[in-house]
Amino acid sequence: MAQPQHSFIDWLGNHLFSCPFKAHFGIDCPGCGLQRSVLALFSGDIISSFKFYPATIPLLFVVLFTIVHLKVDFKFGAQLIKIVFAGVAVIILINYIYKIYTHQLI
């Protein structure tokens, strides 16, 4: 079971969408790294997933939690979604500013 999954992830890794912003200007956009990060997470590498894009884990959490919330209808659901979503936005901003300062916008 492990091998077909692994090759599928490799295949996905070779077929990522390329960022038009990066293609034109040669700089990362605020969303760059998300796909690599998700792939790293799927292959079980949480640390490199975080390094590629720190907002991936909370973002995936929000998406999954929203699906569950729309089915089950938690009392605190909407509030939690709002808070985590705001956190994701802040993480993305901080991550991009950090990338600019540390010259990682390859």
Q: Which residues bind another protein (CB under 8 A)?
A: 17, 19-21, 25-27, 29-32, 34, 59, 62-63, 66-67, 70, 73, 75, 77-79, 81-82, 85-86, 88-89, 92-93, 100, 103, 105-106
User: CA 31, CA 56: separation in Å to the nearest integer?
Assistant: 10
Which residue, 7 or 97, has its beta carbon nearer to another protein? Answer: 97
Least distance in angstroms from the C-beta of 65 to another protein: 10
Which residue, 13 or 77, has its beta carbon nearer to another protein? Answer: 77
For the chain, give the number of residues: 106
Longest dimension (CA), the chain: 46
SS3 content of the chain, % helix, strand, coil (to 5): 70, 0, 30
